Amino acid sequence: MDWGLAFRLELVPMPEEPGLPNSIYDPLPGRVFKAARVAAGLTQEEIAARAGLGHTTVRRLEKGDVTANLERAYTLQKKFEDEGFRFVIPDGSEGWRIFVRRVNDKR
């Protein structure tokens, strides 16, 4: 990995009920979306265009708007992953983590 970022659980807590039996996707918290965007050096408008979303959707996701569509949250997360980001859900002892590797990096 080129670099990583870790959040304290107090700053970005665990999902309230991660991995529910009928859940196929636990969305990232808004602060994690925002940190990834800032780390990528992109504006909300730029990442929205790359992901095929409206910039207001990105803004809502970054604010943690619970009414935002889960499919759009997944689309944004997938775009970051395609760009080399890896998101790790808290495991109880460590908070959310983001790791980044440039896509063109062959290591």
Is the CATH number 3.40.640.10 carried by domain 3-10+27-100? no
DSSP of 27-73? PPPHHHHHHHHHHHT--HHHHHHHHT--HHHHHHHHTT-TTS-HHHH
Q: Is the pLDDT of residue 8 over 90?
A: no
Average pLDDT on 90-98 reads 82
List, for residues 26-82, the tens digit of each pLDDT value: 788 999 999 999 999 999 999 999 999 999 999 999 998 878 888 999 999 999 999
Q: What is the pTM assigned to this prediction? A: 0.80
